[in-house]
Structure 1
Amino acid sequence: MTQALPLIDEPGDAELISAVRGGDLDAYGLLYARHVDAARRLARQLAQRADAEDLVADAFAKVLGVLQRGGGPDVAFRAYLLTALRSLRVDKARAASKVQPTDDLEPFDPGVPSATPPSRASRTRQPHGPSPRCPSAGSWSCGTPRSRGRSRPTWLRCSA
């Protein structure tokens, strides 16, 4: 003897998705209630318990935004939600792998002097005594060609 399935009076996911696109947030509440347990199960498999709840909340928020902009699924809400959850987890893992907080700078800067040659600017700007272009004693050479240097005031031609 077979048992008959109970009749469901609630609308299906497709109708709820259309309602959400139309601005009905109560419809999204029904979608949330219907699919939150599946999202939590997957999130607990992908992340720690505290992070799992944040992941579920972020996934539902992301999907809501997509639906309000007219995108997202037409029928397969759960599959779309779980895919969004996985995608958020991957994004968070990538972001976390780029940041390595540390107090020990030795691996990044061993303190060895650089073997690169000095820059051109440091080679051309050598201290010297008074010069015709820079009348103050102990100034730095301007390094400018005489043709351009003559038309400038003294304070522009000389840099200290």
Structure 2
Amino acid sequence: MAAPNTRSDPKKDGADPEITFRYRLEIGGITTVRFTKLSGLKMSTKVDWVQEGGNNIYKQALIGNQTFDPLVIEKGFYSARDHFFQWMKKMHDPTEKPGRQSVSVIMHNDKGEPTGRFDLYGAFIMEYEGPSFDSKSKEIAFEKMKLHYDFFEYKKAS
């Protein structure tokens, strides 16, 4: 006998918290990496405090520049294409243009449909940790990579 379906009805509840997302990384519009874990998608705004003349009660908070933490992608697999490795190679090749790229982190629901994306601009690879090789595995994997980016935008899937 099959186990009862305990999933909530997204039409009734408005959202399904049990959806298993699948994550993809696009480089230059081409999906090159899929992965299971991501962290570091963080923006902070610097606050500059100014004491206004004649106001002894509080300081005025001025909005300063934004900073963005590095993006850490873990437990990933490459597609059959070698765009990711070509990007790593070109980053330090003096005959190539600088290695910054626009990359996108795309989230998919359990049906494989896109649910949203984070577009990261001016990204480059800061750190790469390769796989432990296993002859029984059919995929090329990596443990961790860290990307720097200048800023990001979120776009909901249409």
TM-score when normalising by structure 1: 0.20
* More helix per residue: 1
Larger RCO: Structure 1 or Structure 2 (Cα < 8 Å, ≥ 6 residues apart)?
Answer: 2
TM-score when normalising by structure 2: 0.20
